[in-house]
Structure 1
Amino acid sequence: MPSEIIRTEYSEIMQKSFIDYSMSVILARAVPDVRDGLKPVQRRTLYDMYELKVDYNKPYKKSARIVGDTMGKYHPHGDSSIYEALVVMTQDFKKSLPLVDGHGNFGSIEGDGAAAMRYTEARLAKVAQEVYLGDLDKNVVDFVPNYDETEKEPEVLPVRVPNILINGSDGIAVGMVTSIPQHNLGEVIDGVIAYMKDPDINTAQMLKIIPGPDFPTGGIITNKDDLLEIYSTGVGKIKIRGKAEIEKIKGGKEQIVITEIPYPMIGANIGKFLNDIYSLVESKKTNDITDISNQSSKDGMRIIVELRKGADAQNVLNLLYKKTRLEDTFGVNMLAVADGKPETLGIVPIIRHHVNFQYELCTRKYTHLLGKEREKKEIQEGLIKACDVIDLIIEILRGSKDVKQAKACLVEGITEGIKFKSEQSKKDAALLKFTERQAQAILDMRLHRLIGLEIEALRGDYAETMQKIADYTKILESRAEMAKVIIKDLQAIKKEYARERRTVIDNVEEAVVEEKPIEEIDVAVLIDRFAYARVVDMPTFERNKEAAETESKKIIFCKNIDKICLFTDDGDMHAIKVLSLPFGKFRDKGQPIDTAEKGSKIDLTKQNLIFADSMANIIQSRLLFGTKQSMIKVVEGAEFDVTRKQIAATKLADDDKVICVGKLNPGSSVVMQSAKDMFLRIEGDTIPEKKKTAVGVRGMKLGKGDELINIYILGEGENVDVKVKDKTVSIGRLHIASRDTKGVKK
């Protein structure tokens, strides 16, 4: 088979492929359609349930059956995404208007996952069946082939309310994200009706009808004045607070009871919120909280924060707003697929698209219904006419050899081959001109239809059909009449499904916390060999001094408001607030040092801790740095007085490591020891002072393959004995030599 090689630029192929992929993700997965407010997976799941006839008033069906059917027919992207979409559509804490009625464990507001799909059952919610899928049988939307062209699926569902506003949406596509808040059904319907009556309505006027989001978790929106710009542009940030009350309890104490949470807090963030409160207590940000308990149940949210007697409850509540997710932000980006392309829309354009869609649905619906009524009219007229000449028709039927002959006579007046009782009957039969549809209805007619009452009922049905034809024609010929029908339908939906607003919208001043000054005390920071750190006060340390010195790898004496500085062998310094470390009893386990300060990347499982001291002590000292490649320098401690949590304390050459950081006092000497037992003692004052960003100077000439293993700092007259193989070297008695020499062999 001949093949053709097409030569093209690689960049062009990549660009085209990436754009195709991006548009596929945007249009076919992540971004909802502005018309029905649904993503493809949601739309396909609901349509499959409609096809399976899992109606709201019928028994539940296994979720696995629904998911499998949806995946096999319409959504070949894996069962997990379909089941996740099904689960979310059942959760009343995530959706203002749940579209699926779930039976079984479909998760909780606290982030518990749903049970496996083989255990749960589901059926359509009444609102989904009546408002979202009700007109699918009336040719109101186009159907398109599914992924393998063996089935047809609706391009969009005939949703009669702006679902994109009512249930909101969120999704991450390629290069764009959508995040649409949820709104109150009744208010949104009123907004649609207002737009239909006045298409020139502006955003400010619309916000008087739809004042803002209405989240299923309630809460308080605190930046009401920002909503006009957000709903004009479709982009912005909404600040939400949880609803909390201060209650008095016995013993003269008070407690904060949280009954509503910000919408972004649902799920695992509730647990994180409780942990954040624990952290406030552990870090001594507040001493007023004595206990926290989550007493939430199926009846609603109830988180209790108990306070000590005499605590300022309002100040503690403000602290929770400032330091935890009890006050959170909902990022708005009202991105939707409109006219086949993604577009960020304000609230009025969204409603405009919805209303245009409703007019389209209404036109197609009543065109379909008008056609059906006209067909019915044709048949009714034929039956009424047949009743007037029923004797002749019976004579034709009795005289015909087969149905085809009888039908030909009824439609075309062909009488050949038919036996008539008289010539007049034959002439009358030749004059019959029924339509094909009328003739078939006559042939299918049962004899009981000839009863007098039945004939009267037929005439009544005909009058009713004529009235419907007149009504439908009037609706189709007048946009004003069509608007009345749409508005009447919306009002009926509002009456049945609307509920009270849950979210309060107001302008609330920012929470102000009066932070009490922390009492300054002397403490000891204990770091054990497993890199766990804890803080104890000095009386506690003194009582347990022997055990502390035995069990701790490092002990740092400082103030509780100070920082500790940790120098590692990779040349970094990590500054950690003492207040970030757990303060308590001597036998408390402590906390891993690498998790104490957010943003710090210290990892003592991969880095060696060379030196540690308080920031207050370091900035008043001169620090000696030494590396295994014998590079040394002195740095003023003030250079390490920085606000950053991690800095480079010294510059290192490739494959070099810091082996010494220590305080160098005037008159001290420095002794360097190499792996090959070479020692060099020099005066500390001969080591040049450098910046922390410098490499330093060579301290000792090393032989081939040799490196420094220890550097000792000796005070004036001080001596240290060092074991070298089978002998002891008193390094304080070594002759003082010049820097950058070989030293002596020991």
Structure 2
Amino acid sequence: MAVEEKLIRMEYSEIMEKSYIDYAMSVIIARALPDVRDGLKPVQRRTLYDMHELGIRYDKPFRKSARIVGDTMGKYHPHGDSSIYDALVVMSQDFKKGLPLVEGHGNFGSIEGDGAAAMRYTEARLHKVTQECYLADLDKDVVDFIPNFDETEKEPEVLPVKVPNLLINGAEGIAVGMATSIPPHNFGEVVDGVIAYMKDPDINTQQMMEYIKGPDFPTGGIVVNKDDLHAIYATGVGKIKVRGKVEIEKVKGGKERLIITEIPYTMIGANIGKFLNDVYGLVESKKTTDIVDISNQSSKEGIRIVIDLKKGADAENLCNLLYKKTRLEDTFGVNMLAVADGRPETMGIVPIIRHHVNFQYELATRKYTTLLAKERQKKEIQEGLIKACDVIDLIIEILRGSKDMKMAKACLVEGITEGIRFKSEVSKRDAEKLHFTERQATAILEMRLYKLIGLEIQALMNDYEKTMKNIQEYSDILENRASMAKVIMKELKEFKKEYAKERRTVIDNVAEVVVEEKPIEEVDVAVMIDRFAYGRVVDMPTFERNKEAAEAESRQIIFCKNTDKLALFTDKGQMHLIKVLDLPFGKFRDKGQPLDNVSNFDASKEESLLIASVAALKDKKLVFATKTSMLKVVDGGEFDVAKRTTAATKLAPDDGLLLVGVLEDQDSIVMQSEKEMFLRIDTAAIPEKKKGAIGVRGMRLADKDLLQAVYLLHTGDSKTVKVKGKDVVLNRLHIGNRDTKGVKK
């Protein structure tokens, strides 16, 4: 029997749109963003819960990270093992987290960007604070459990976290079309903020910031824009400027050194190495001459980067230069985005705490509802046992006269005496009056004889009194919000007392740094460019002493001031600017710098036609010639521009520059085509145009002919080229008219 085919026709764009939205929401809600209630992303939540389930508590031995990762991946997180291990590693790093949740054993990476060892080598277990503040009460039905990815296990929808983890540890995550970036805060301050909110739910951002001063980064540092924090915490969006902490230390010989003891939070990892390179760059580019040496002496004890200064150096000014030119002062972008009520939302600090407090009330309600139900069950059983002690002789008589457990239980619960042998009718009538509950009857039947000892009966009475007190206490907590708030605040104060630490980050308003740059002494120099497009600079006395060697080794020598810029013209019609100060200055035999490194010039894709001083070009005229024989003269002043790269001329799609030359009086140019046609014309016949113009035709070329070369001849120049083995002396060619065919050679 053929299966009936069912075709569904849909617009392709609709399918793509729905699929992409489904994917985006999956990434946003189930992977990349933290939940405002517990401040955890799914991978972090699942890893902590798995460690809890495996019994890897703070007071138990460490277990292999590979075991934790494998178990988490197999049960709860069906993604790559690297994402789970990375999350585990980050939760253990005290330089990334204000409150590490996992205790690592082995190499878990360093503040300088060293990665953790492979998970087969490292071990981990939960911290005490994680066990007490993040995973406690899971057995009291405080959160909902949902099926895992293959519905073989149950996992908590959210962890019953008792402190605002979203603020304490911060969060980072990139979703689809959105990202979160929340800085870490001080544990004690955040707890104080929560208590303040519980006492006054109408508290505003300004009042909240009396408790939570600002971010507290694990790396310390100084927040320098205190006045901007109010707007950031009100809206949940903004930029925090953070500086490293620098101390000035005097050493022998009257010298000083800068000691960097704290770095901006954004500098951890590979950015420490980048900072060191940036400092080297300041020295190489002569932005400062005060630094003698720099060394990174950081260790497990903390950050220590030492910058040795020369005698008489201005340490304060150099410190400002580091803030201005390196990542020693950096910006932390804040975007307090988290999943609230199932959807992503950007929140200020008060709404985040409001969500947390509402969650705490929900947790407490479910916890004490569960505890109250258990206490009421205990009360029922205890009352049954107390009552049983008063009629214990009758109960023993019932048990001895019953044929089985079922008969005895029926008598205790419903007073059914049929089939039971009693010693007297009085006992039988008393037995018929018994009405224990099911639970009480079960407890009586399971009771051991030693419970009838006087002291045990007294202990039972004491337990009953304690149970009644608990019932009264739990009922009061559930019925009065003030009582519940008191319990939550008491627990928070206990957490603060045990886990709070001193603030590490200083919050202040600091003026924008001002760097007093020493004026550069202007001197005449010679810029030498060799055939490999390497450039170097020497002063004129050095050049004069080595003139012959310089002229022999250099493709081009430009005489200018050290403060000048060089214009480099290429066959692609581009002009690249090079600052002479960016080229190495020093001894004649010092190594040069590739022009590619100090400009946008790319020697692998472009050919350099002319390099000249921009200052020298201002009073000059430049002649341009292309493969398609387009000529023009441009005023050199047009090339005194600020952009590092600009179009020197306009070119047709398949055209290219063959010549850029500086004109002198009574010059001529010779055009040589691929079909061996030559035309010499006076440069006075070439009109002056703007640099954005294409120009005019120089030689009338035959079909499929292009210019092979163009030569600029100054007065007195003698130039010879070979054509089919014959010498053609260019300065002897007849000067013709522009836009003619030329002569065959």
CA distance in structure 2 between the partners assigned to 1:67 and 1:179 by the alignment: 26
Q: Which amino acid aligns with 1:572?
A: Q
CA distance in structure 1 between the partners assigned to 2:578 and 2:710 by the alignment: 26
Q: Kindly indicate whether the alpha-carbon contact (under 8 Å) linking 1:282 and 1:583 is maintained by their aligned counterparts in 2.
A: no
Match for 1:110 among 106, 109, 112? 112
Comparing 65-74 with 447-456, greater Cα deviation is found at 447-456
1:408-419 equivalent positions in 2, closer than 5 A: 408-419=410-421
CA distance in structure 2 between the partners assigned to 1:111 and 1:540 by the alignment: 45
Give the equivalent residue in structure 2 for 1:654. 653
Look up the SS of the partner of 2:330 in the other structure: strand
- Once the two structures are TM-superposed, the CA of residue 210 in structure 1 deviates from its matched residue by 1.1
- Once the two structures are TM-superposed, the CA of residue 312 in structure 1 deviates from its matched residue by 1.0
CA distance in structure 1 between the partners assigned to 2:165 and 2:202 by the alignment: 22
Give the equivalent residue in structure 1 for 2:311. 309
1:53-132 equivalent positions in 2, closer than 5 A: 53-132=55-134
Comparing 631-640 with 365-374, greater Cα deviation is found at 631-640
Match for 2:155 among 153, 160, 177? 153
- Once the two structures are TM-superposed, the CA of residue 426 in structure 1 deviates from its matched residue by 2.9
CA distance in structure 2 between the partners assigned to 1:667 and 1:63 by the alignment: 82
1:9-24 equivalent positions in 2, closer than 5 A: 9-24=11-26
Q: Kindly indicate whether the alpha-carbon contact (under 8 Å) linking 1:666 and 1:685 is maintained by their aligned counterparts in 2.
A: no
- Once the two structures are TM-superposed, the CA of residue 14 in structure 1 deviates from its matched residue by 3.2
Q: Which amino acid aligns with 1:744?
A: V
Look up the SS of the partner of 1:382 in the other structure: helix
Closer, same or farther in 2 for the Cα pair 1:390/1:535, shift >3 Å? farther
- Once the two structures are TM-superposed, the CA of residue 356 in structure 1 deviates from its matched residue by 0.8
Comparing 649-658 with 466-475, greater Cα deviation is found at 649-658
1:628-639 equivalent positions in 2, closer than 5 A: 628-639=627-638
Match for 1:50 among 49, 52, 56? 52
CA distance in structure 2 between the partners assigned to 1:551 and 1:439 by the alignment: 110
CA distance in structure 2 between the partners assigned to 1:734 and 1:514 by the alignment: 60
1:197-596 equivalent positions in 2, closer than 5 A: 197-596=199-598
Comparing 115-124 with 613-622, greater Cα deviation is found at 613-622
- Once the two structures are TM-superposed, the CA of residue 584 in structure 1 deviates from its matched residue by 3.9
Q: Kindly indicate whether the alpha-carbon contact (under 8 Å) linking 1:566 and 1:611 is maintained by their aligned counterparts in 2.
A: yes
Comparing 314-323 with 703-712, greater Cα deviation is found at 703-712
CA distance in structure 2 between the partners assigned to 1:413 and 1:545 by the alignment: 126
- Once the two structures are TM-superposed, the CA of residue 492 in structure 1 deviates from its matched residue by 0.1
CA distance in structure 1 between the partners assigned to 2:59 and 2:556 by the alignment: 70
Cα displacement string for residues 396-441 of structure 1 (whole angstroms, at most 9, x for unaligned residues): 3333333223222222222223333333333333322222222222
Closer, same or farther in 2 for the Cα pair 1:592/1:147, shift >3 Å? farther
Give the equivalent residue in structure 2 for 1:671. 670
Comparing 91-100 with 20-29, greater Cα deviation is found at 20-29
Q: Which amino acid aligns with 2:673?
A: S
Give the equivalent residue in structure 2 for 1:695. 694
- Once the two structures are TM-superposed, the CA of residue 629 in structure 1 deviates from its matched residue by 2.0
Look up the SS of the partner of 2:467 in the other structure: helix
Look up the SS of the partner of 1:343 in the other structure: strand
Give the equivalent residue in structure 2 for 1:140. 142
User: Unaligned stretches of 5+ in structure 2?
Assistant: none
Q: Which amino acid aligns with 2:621?
A: R
CA distance in structure 1 between the partners assigned to 2:34 and 2:203 by the alignment: 25
Look up the SS of the partner of 1:258 in the other structure: strand
Look up the SS of the partner of 1:208 in the other structure: coil
- Once the two structures are TM-superposed, the CA of residue 177 in structure 1 deviates from its matched residue by 1.8
The yes-or-no answer on 1:719 pairing with 2:718 is yes
Q: Kindly indicate whether the alpha-carbon contact (under 8 Å) linking 1:681 and 1:735 is maintained by their aligned counterparts in 2.
A: yes
Look up the SS of the partner of 1:209 in the other structure: coil
- Once the two structures are TM-superposed, the CA of residue 69 in structure 1 deviates from its matched residue by 1.2
TM-score (norm: length of structure 1): 0.96
Cα displacement string for residues 183-218 of structure 1 (whole angstroms, at most 9, x for unaligned residues): 111011111111111111111111111111111111
Q: Which amino acid aligns with 2:686?
A: I
**Percentage identity across paired residues of the two chains:** 74
Look up the SS of the partner of 1:665 in the other structure: coil
- Once the two structures are TM-superposed, the CA of residue 65 in structure 1 deviates from its matched residue by 1.2
Look up the SS of the partner of 1:89 in the other structure: helix
Closer, same or farther in 2 for the Cα pair 1:65/1:550, shift >3 Å? farther
- Once the two structures are TM-superposed, the CA of residue 476 in structure 1 deviates from its matched residue by 0.6
The yes-or-no answer on 1:39 pairing with 2:36 is no
Give the equivalent residue in structure 2 for 1:622. 621
- Once the two structures are TM-superposed, the CA of residue 487 in structure 1 deviates from its matched residue by 0.6
Give the equivalent residue in structure 2 for 1:706. 705
Look up the SS of the partner of 1:476 in the other structure: helix
Comparing 588-597 with 32-41, greater Cα deviation is found at 588-597
Closer, same or farther in 2 for the Cα pair 1:584/1:107, shift >3 Å? farther
User: Unaligned stretches of 5+ in structure 1?
Assistant: none
Closer, same or farther in 2 for the Cα pair 1:620/1:405, shift >3 Å? farther
Give the equivalent residue in structure 1 for 2:642. 643
CA distance in structure 2 between the partners assigned to 1:591 and 1:145 by the alignment: 63
CA distance in structure 2 between the partners assigned to 1:170 and 1:339 by the alignment: 20
Q: Which amino acid aligns with 1:215?
A: F
CA distance in structure 2 between the partners assigned to 1:448 and 1:230 by the alignment: 67
Cα displacement string for residues 552-592 of structure 1 (whole angstroms, at most 9, x for unaligned residues): 44443332211122212211111122222333444444444
- Once the two structures are TM-superposed, the CA of residue 142 in structure 1 deviates from its matched residue by 0.9
Cα displacement string for residues 681-706 of structure 1 (whole angstroms, at most 9, x for unaligned residues): 11111112222112222222223333
Give the equivalent residue in structure 2 for 1:179. 181
- Once the two structures are TM-superposed, the CA of residue 551 in structure 1 deviates from its matched residue by 4.6
Q: Kindly indicate whether the alpha-carbon contact (under 8 Å) linking 1:567 and 1:612 is maintained by their aligned counterparts in 2.
A: yes
Q: Which amino acid aligns with 1:64?
A: A
CA distance in structure 2 between the partners assigned to 1:47 and 1:369 by the alignment: 22
Closer, same or farther in 2 for the Cα pair 1:442/1:744, shift >3 Å? same
- Alignment RMSD, CA only? 1.8
Closer, same or farther in 2 for the Cα pair 1:393/1:152, shift >3 Å? same
Q: Which amino acid aligns with 1:46?
A: L
- Once the two structures are TM-superposed, the CA of residue 615 in structure 1 deviates from its matched residue by 1.5
Give the equivalent residue in structure 1 for 2:609. 610
Q: Which amino acid aligns with 2:504?
A: R
CA distance in structure 1 between the partners assigned to 2:392 and 2:555 by the alignment: 112
CA distance in structure 2 between the partners assigned to 1:588 and 1:428 by the alignment: 116
Q: Which amino acid aligns with 1:608?
A: E
Cα displacement string for residues 515-538 of structure 1 (whole angstroms, at most 9, x for unaligned residues): 110111233334444444433334
CA distance in structure 2 between the partners assigned to 1:138 and 1:554 by the alignment: 84
Look up the SS of the partner of 1:156 in the other structure: coil
Closer, same or farther in 2 for the Cα pair 1:82/1:586, shift >3 Å? farther
- Once the two structures are TM-superposed, the CA of residue 91 in structure 1 deviates from its matched residue by 0.7
CA distance in structure 1 between the partners assigned to 2:395 and 2:618 by the alignment: 116
Comparing 479-488 with 30-39, greater Cα deviation is found at 30-39
CA distance in structure 2 between the partners assigned to 1:120 and 1:7 by the alignment: 54
CA distance in structure 2 between the partners assigned to 1:424 and 1:531 by the alignment: 121
Q: Which amino acid aligns with 1:68?
A: G
CA distance in structure 2 between the partners assigned to 1:662 and 1:681 by the alignment: 16
Comparing 422-431 with 200-209, greater Cα deviation is found at 422-431
CA distance in structure 1 between the partners assigned to 2:77 and 2:557 by the alignment: 62
